[in-house]
Amino acid sequence: MLETKSTCPYCGVGCGVVIEHDGQQITGVRGDPDHPANFGRLCSKGINLHHTASPLVRQTQRLLTPQWRAARGGALRPSSWDMANERLAAELLRIRRQHGPEAIGFYISGQLLTEDYCAFNKLARGVIKTPHIDSNSRLCMSSAVAGYKQSLGADAPPCSYEDVEQAECILVIGANPAWAHPVLFRRLEAARAHRAGRPGQKLIVVDPRRTESAELADLHLQLQPGTDVALLHGLLHAWIWNGWVDQDFIAARTEGFDALKALVREWTPARAAQVCGLREVDLWTAAEWFARAAGSLSLYCQGLNQSSSGTAKNTALINLHLATAQIGKPGAGPFSLTGQPNAMGGREAGGMATLLPGHRDPADPAQRAEVAALWGLDASETLPGPGHTALALFEGAARGEVKALWIACTNPAQSLPDQALVRQALQRCELVVLQEAFAGTATEAYADWVLPAASWGEKEGTVTNSERRISRVRAALAPPGEARADWRIVRDVALRLEPQLRPGLAPLFRADEGPESLWLQHRETTRGRDLDIGGLSWAALDRDGPQQWPFVQGPTNRLYTDARFVFPDGRARFIAKPYQAPAERLSPQRPFALLSSRLRDQWHGMSRSGRVPTLFAHTPQPKLRLHPQDAARRGLADGDLVRVSTARGAVLLPLQLDRSLRLGAADLPMHWGPEFLRHGVNEVSAAARCPDSQQPELKFSAAQIEAV
Ligand code: SF4
């Protein structure tokens, strides 16, 4: 029996795993006791990973050879890699020649490895010269990115998982880590079980649902959906007018406090409580616990991010940490929990329309020139500026401006909001390329080319988890059939394009390009930046195990310990953004706030977790959850078939009565696709976006719920 250490490919906790195999077959998986993210623990998804790589799944549910369609709607036919690469390169050249580089867009994924991101970024921006490369991380963490950058000067979560054990007060807001980040939550549970070691530790959970995380809380603030900014401004008001802010820290280390103070003047705790639908006394309790704790830590995720006010919610939370100096010390800080396994690595490698490698800004010509030089581009070449973010990319395709979409490791025909527009976009494109490991995703039906990609247990590279920890991903088996590593698929097309598009210039891609060389190129882009890993080597990662960035002389477990932030003057910024209600207003025609949530045992669109029958035991089928009182008022009973309709469409599914919901809220888990519901749950979800982050408001739609 052989053992290979790697990393779980699901959530951003980034647990280390030990893959048990014989070189031909993966027989088991267990938690890596040496990995600092999980110390041997795994959740239900992680412990079942080997079932997603069973011989049956690899032989019958994977894409095994390149395939193409002669015409839309026709059958897929197998192709050799040579033919696929030749024809794909020729089509990209034709579209670029006829319509310009901006007619080509890339939609990639937070599940790709950092090295895959590097390859895609070089192909898109460096070879084709299109600005349009964005990731499904746009749906996940882009509000957190914007919040950190606006408030602290860089997209850098300042905390570590050990802060969960060191905090005296933990505020969980817009997150249900008990289900979405289970191993981190086990750590929180364990810390609280030893309460004697931290007398007085408090847990506050802010969520319209009484989740399993909320069940553990000392205080659950079951607020009106979408009112987080009102709550956070109310807490700050309470502190300011009770003298609970740290005036010395504010004066010495921050800018912008007076404007924020003027903004929150009207947000008295009484008014905030009224808008949020909370008891004022509970708001005061939360205010006192957070402000007076020696260390206050915030854990947050999609409840703050997936919102038309996503950046306002993030900055309002960071304001609280700055006002009380709850940052840069043990057990303190605003800590975004990453949804995907390598959304962080994608941000570091600049695989998004609003980011360049090394956390650089594509809107800044000087920073574009730095990247061009680091990539070895000729002095005559420039990199494109900011491109379309995810939804804008598909809107551009629906308008007929974007002619080619190369989609990798994600399933937009299920996961993006406003599915009618997504279908129109995919149908209108002249070329849709799908690079994917699993067969039969919803997007496959629109693809002209389907390229089989390697999956977990078959790839080499790195990922970065929520606490900035870079871990190695390792292959135990060769990919099945003719599937290939994502970076290699990109490289082989790039090698055909470069002589045509950059004749006579030093190539960006080498024929011997591989994970290590791509990682070394990535490392060079970080030198002198906030995420500098110049002191780290591939060999050290292999030898010493996962490491947190920045890593110059050694790893860094906590940022801003010297209270110097990443702005040129070293001072953090208070951001004064007003509270705004969700984009869609409730009305007699659509009186329910439709939320979306995660299930404990499923992940994203189920393309991997959906292959494991035991993971359906917890929740076997899609159901709409509604409070019994709301159901009774409509004459609905548990199990009734209901029609959930929003401004965009409708889905039919059974009703589940659930007292954990706030009155007036309904909950539809995000995972269910077209194989369970016609067009899947995103037929009804909202596409309104945060103006700063362009993250869509997947968490709130105005909906009607009726008996069928
Ligand atoms: Fe995988 Fe996340 Fe579960 Fe860890 S907590 S085993 S990373 S799904």
Q: What is the per-residue pLDDT for 198?
A: 63
Residues 696/686, Cβ–Cβ less than 8 Å: yes
The verdict on 436 and 470 lying in the same domain is yes
The verdict on 31 and 103 lying in the same domain is no
Q: Is the CB of 10 under 6 A from ligand 1?
A: yes
What are the φ/ψ torsions at residue 626 (nearest 5 degrees)? -145, 145
Reported as half-sphere exposure (CB side, CA atoms, 13 A), residue 395 has a value of 10
Whether ipTM > 0.95 holds is yes
> What are the residues whose beta carbons fall under 8 Å from the beta carbon of 188, sequence distance 6 or more?
164, 170, 177, 203, 216
Q: Is the CB of 177 under 6 A from ligand 1?
A: no
Domain boundary among 337, 358, 379: 337
Reported as half-sphere exposure (CB side, CA atoms, 13 A), residue 541 has a value of 27
Q: Are strands 16-21 and 26-31 parallel, antiparallel or unpaired?
A: antiparallel
Q: What is the per-residue pLDDT for 174?
A: 97
What does the pLDDT look like over 674-688, one tens digit per residue? 889 888 999 999 889
CATH number for the domain including 689?
A: 2.40.40.20
Reported as half-sphere exposure (CB side, CA atoms, 13 A), residue 248 has a value of 2
Give the residue from 546, 550, 548 showing the smallest Cα distance to 529: 550
The verdict on 312 and 407 lying in the same domain is no
Residue nearest to ligand 1 atom 3, measured at CA: 43
Q: Is the CB of 45 under 6 A from ligand 1?
A: yes
Torsion of CA 208, 213, 219, 220, to 10 degrees: 10
The verdict on 328 and 245 lying in the same domain is yes
Cα distance between residue 551 and residue 625, in whole Å? 46
Centroid of ligand 1 to alpha carbon of 244 (angstroms): 38
The verdict on 403 and 477 lying in the same domain is yes
Does 117 fall in a domain? Answer: yes
Reported as half-sphere exposure (CB side, CA atoms, 13 A), residue 442 has a value of 27
Report mean pLDDT in 10-residue bins for the chain, 708 residues.
97 98 96 98 97 96 97 95 98 98 98 98 98 97 97 97 95 98 95 68 96 97 98 98 97 98 98 98 98 96 97 98 98 96 95 96 98 96 97 98 98 95 97 98 97 98 98 98 98 98 96 96 98 98 97 97 97 98 97 96 93 94 97 97 96 97 97 89 93 97 97
The verdict on 99 and 77 lying in the same domain is yes
Centroid of ligand 1 to alpha carbon of 42 (angstroms): 6
Does 587 fall in a domain? Answer: no
Q: What crossing angle do the helices spanning 269-276 and 280-292 adopt, rounded to 10°?
A: 120
Give the residue from 283, 205, 274 showing the smallest Cα distance to 242: 283
* From 10, 44, 466, 598, mutation site for ligand 1 pocket: most ligand atoms within 8 A of C-beta: 10
Neighbours of 196 (CB within 10 A): 6
The verdict on 444 and 495 lying in the same domain is yes
The verdict on 280 and 346 lying in the same domain is no
What are the φ/ψ torsions at residue 90 (nearest 5 degrees)? -65, -40
Shortest-distance atom of ligand 1 to CA 10: 8
Domain of 457, in residue numbers:
67-139+342-548
Q: What is the per-residue pLDDT for 196?
A: 45
524: tokens are 């060079």
Give the residue from 662, 661, 706, 618 showing the smallest Cα distance to 182: 618
What are the φ/ψ torsions at residue 471 (nearest 5 degrees)? -125, 150
Centroid of ligand 1 to alpha carbon of 693 (angstroms): 26
